[in-house]
Amino acid sequence: MSEYLKQLKIQIASKVQGVRFQDVSPLEIMILKEGQPEVRVKDEKDYVTVKYGDQVIKYDKWYTKPEHLAEMIKVFFSTQKK
């Protein structure tokens, strides 16, 4: 697993209650929260791709540190209806 994804998991676990992680591959994780859509995060060297539903968003890892992405995922889960 990439260092970025390791740090991201730590950050998300500290910010979002009731979240679970599933490693899809060494460069991709799935983030699950009961009753809410899954989020997939894939490390693509210089970029990280976040997929939820039909949406795919690509972030530059230079500007989007794990703690910033964790905050975005926290907001995503808090705005979803159960």
pLDDT, one tens digit per residue, over 34-80 is 878 899 999 999 999 999 989 999 999 999 999 999 999 999 888 88
What is the C-alpha separation between 10 and 56, in angstroms, rounded? 22
Q: Write down the pLDDT at residue 82.
A: 60
Read off the pTM. 0.90
Assess whether pLDDT exceeds 80 at residue 17. Answer: yes
